[in-house]
């Protein structure tokens, strides 16, 4: 499969730099454009376009870190902050709009009730995305 656009949603977890690094490796092989997005989930009791300073600042920090990782590797990535009710839907819609062939998701290693917890957003994107989805799960902490 030829990749021209790769979408990388970033949540600001410890795995973000690894995901970006992997996306850049993939992107280099395919000469694909990489877009990193951070989605701010807006609660239903607030307008969708509410200006959430703290969340916006955190989102910009997450994306600035991704840009730094890319710069160190000699690559360029585009970044975008979004606000939506559900992160998964915003990710899928952005992938459709940008005609991304691949969504590369980072999955921090978490356990709930003794089992690895995939997380709501990853699960939803897997189910709803029309394009390929790749989950990069963090290795088990030693």
Partner 1 sequence: MSDDDVTPPDDPQRPSDVPERFERAPGRRIGDQRVKIVRRRGFRRGRGVIVATEESLESAGLGGRMLSVAREILFGKRIPTERESEERLTKITGLAIFASDNISSSAYATEETMRALALAGAAGLAFTMPLTVAIVTILAIVVTSYLQVIKAYPNGGGSYVVASRNLGMIPGLLAAAALLVDYVLTVSVSVAGGVLAITTAFPGVDPIKVWVGVGFIALLTIGNLRGIREAGVVFAGPTYFYVASIAIVLAIGFYRLITGDIPAAVPPPQAVQANEALGIFLVLRAFSSGSVGLSGTEAVANGVPAFREPSARNASIVLIAMGTLFGTLFFGISFLATRFGIQVDATETKSVIGLLTQSIVGQGALFYVVQAATAIILVLAANTSFSGFPRLASILATDRFMPRQFAQRGDRLAYSFGILVLAAVSAILLVVYQGSVNGLIPLYTIGVFIAFTLSQAGLVRHWLRERGPGWRFSTSINALGAVVTGIVTLVVAYTKFLLGAWLVLAIMPLLIYGMWRVRRHYQMIEDELLIPRATQVHLAVRKPRLIVPIARLDRSSLNTLGLARAICADVAAVHISYDEEGAAAFRERWSRVVGPELPLEVIVSPYRALVAPLLSYLDAIDDGDRSRPVIIALAEFVPSHWWENALHNQTALRLKLALFSRKNTSVIDVPFHPEDEDAPH
* Footprint on this chain of partner 1 (rule: CB under 8 A): 39, 47-51, 56-57, 59-61, 64, 80-86, 89-90, 92-94, 96-97
CB of 29 to partner 1, least distance (A): 25
Angle subtended by helix axes 120-128 and 87-97, to nearest 10: 40
50 or 116: CB nearest partner 1: 50
- 55-70 burial code (b ≥16 CB/10 A, e <16): beeebeebbebbbebb
CB of 55 to partner 1, least distance (A): 10
CB of 85 to partner 1, least distance (A): 7
Provide the 10 A C-beta neighbour count for residue 47: 8
Q: From CA 29, how far away is CA 122, in angstroms rounded?
A: 25
30 or 128: CB nearest partner 1: 128
CB of 72 to partner 1, least distance (A): 9
128 or 137: CB nearest partner 1: 128
Helices (H), the chain: 16-30, 53-72, 87-97, 120-128
């Amino acid at each position: 499969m030829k990749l021209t656009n790769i979408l990388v949603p970033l949540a600001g977890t410890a795995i973000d730099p690894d995901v970006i690094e992997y996306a850049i490796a993939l992107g280099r092989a395919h000469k694909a454009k990489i877009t990193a997005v951070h989605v701010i989930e807006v609660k239903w009791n607030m307008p969708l376009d509410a200006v959430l300073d703290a969340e916006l600042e955190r989102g910009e920090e997450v994306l600035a870190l991704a840009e730094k990782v890319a710069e160190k590797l000699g690559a360029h990535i585009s970044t975008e902050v979004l606000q939506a009710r559900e992160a998964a839907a915003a990710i899928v819609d952005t992938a459709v709009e940008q005609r991304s062939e691949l969504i590369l998701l980072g999955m921090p290693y978490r356990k709930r009730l003794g089992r690895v917890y995939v997380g709501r957003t990853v699960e939803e994107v897997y189910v709803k995305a029309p394009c390929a989805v790749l989950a990069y799960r963090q290795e088990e902490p030693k």
